[in-house]
Structure 1
Amino acid sequence: MSVTLKAIKREDHARSTTRNLRESGQVPAVVYGKDKETKSIAVNSIELVKTVRDEGRNAIISLDIDSGNSVDVMLHDYQMDDIKDELLHADFYIVNMGEAMDVDVSIRLDGDAPGVKDGGIMQQALYEAKLRVKPNAIPEEIVLDVSNMTMGDIIIVADLPKSSEYEILEDDDTTVATILAPRTDDDVEGIENENAEPELVGEVQKDKNEE
């Protein structure tokens, strides 16, 4: 299910016009896609941020351009003003609802692992997985149950939940999460010894000659 976002055509690309757009709460943007003509538009900044926050970054957006010409898009990229924390520009990619595409989907660990209760440290090595999936079947996230993980256990991509609606493109052997044993005093001491500067043979010989 897609959400609707209203947009207006943008004909004038002068800096003054672009600045006025931003000051009025609009974000300059472009819409493009495979074998599609690139169009310059503007959308309401607050509405765009709210849509992405509520629906997720992989949300399918029905972009209503000047009330009548709607296209299904995804937010492909955006630029931010880090100082003002404001949107400067957005790129929308036109999607084919019947054609699979490659997207990155977040991986969330769920459950209380016995290994953590025993003092182990949960380490997540992979936070996103690339999927090949049709736009209307993109999952909001992949939930990985870790409630059976004990100390030293490793979960790899091959262990992620399977679905007939998508294909996971990551290597099966890629580590997703593991529970590490806590470091002991001996481990810390060993690391300190490894980092100690080696004694220089030349310096030792020099000291002996000086005696």
Structure 2
Amino acid sequence: MAITLEAKKREDLRTSNTKAIRLAGEVPAIIYGYQVDPKTVAVNSLELLKTVRDEGKNAIISLQVDGDSVDVMLHEYQTDPLKDELVHADFYAVNMKEELDVQVPVVLNGEAIGVKEGGVLQQPLYELALRAKPKDIPEQITIEVAGLNVGDSILVSDLKEGKNYEIMEDEGTTIVSILVPDEEPAEEPEAAEESEEPEAAADTEEDKNEE
């Protein structure tokens, strides 16, 4: 089910008006894509951030623009690095009957047995490439890792694909593994003592020559 978000038409594109929109707590945006002529709009910045935080970046948003409803996804957004605020957003109008290629976050659940025994968890892949219709895109892919021992790993081929989406990653790609911890052998005291003996012997020979 799409999340509803109100949007206002934005026809005055002057810089002064754009600044006023941001000061009012809104973010200027553009809508484009399937059967939609590009439109400039403004949406409430906090509501948009809350939607993405709660529903994920691939959430289907039903934008309400002057009585019209457009199903969109947040395609891209820009932030002010100093103020940590949204400054612009791009909404892509989607065809709900056609599949899309998206990146979905991978979330690990549980504490691996191997980690408890001193192993190191490594996660090379944080997102999975999927192909699905908009309404079938999962918010995240959860992987249970509690049963992993040192030396174990989970590959893309180990995942059971959902009925409504297709995993596009190479089957041999590692998602998570438990590595053997690195151990550096400590220097043995005997070796250190032996390294000092030749110097002592050399000093003795020099003393004899001086005499």
Q: Same fold (TM over 0.5)?
A: yes
Distance 2:47 2:116 in 1: 43
Question: What is residue 168 of structure 1 aligned with on the other side?
Answer: 167
User: How far 1:102 moved relative to its partner?
Assistant: 0.7
Distance 1:34 1:46 in 2: 26
- Change over 3 Å in CA distance of 1:21–1:32 after alignment to 2: same
CA displacement 1:111-133 (0-9 Å, x = unmatched): 23221121101111100001001
Question: What is residue 119 of structure 1 aligned with on the other side?
Answer: 118
User: What is the SS of the residue equivalent to 2:16?
Assistant: helix
User: How far 1:185 moved relative to its partner?
Assistant: 1.9
Identity of aligned residues (%): 56
Question: What is residue 47 of structure 2 aligned with on the other side?
Answer: 47
Counterpart mapping for 1:1-211 below 5 A: 1-66=1-66, 68-186=67-185
8 A Cα contact 1:105 1:129, kept in partner: yes
Indicate the RMSD between aligned Cα atoms, in angstroms. Answer: 1.4
8 A Cα contact 1:142 1:161, kept in partner: no
User: How far 1:99 moved relative to its partner?
Assistant: 0.8
Distance 2:80 2:90 in 1: 15
Flag the structure with larger Rg: 2
User: What is the SS of the residue equivalent to 1:185?
Assistant: coil
User: What is the SS of the residue equivalent to 1:46?
Assistant: helix
User: How far 1:84 moved relative to its partner?
Assistant: 1.0
User: How far 1:147 moved relative to its partner?
Assistant: 2.2
Distance 2:53 2:108 in 1: 20
Which aligned runs of 4 or more in structure 1 are off by greater than 2 angstroms?
none
Segment drifting more, 171-180 vs 103-112: 103-112
Distance 1:105 1:92 in 2: 18
Which TM-score applies when normalising by structure 2?
0.85
Which TM-score applies when normalising by structure 1?
0.85
8 A Cα contact 2:109 2:144, kept in partner: yes
Segment drifting more, 87-96 vs 145-154: 145-154
8 A Cα contact 2:122 2:179, kept in partner: yes
Unaligned stretches of 5+ in structure 1?
Answer: 190-211
User: How far 1:35 moved relative to its partner?
Assistant: 4.9
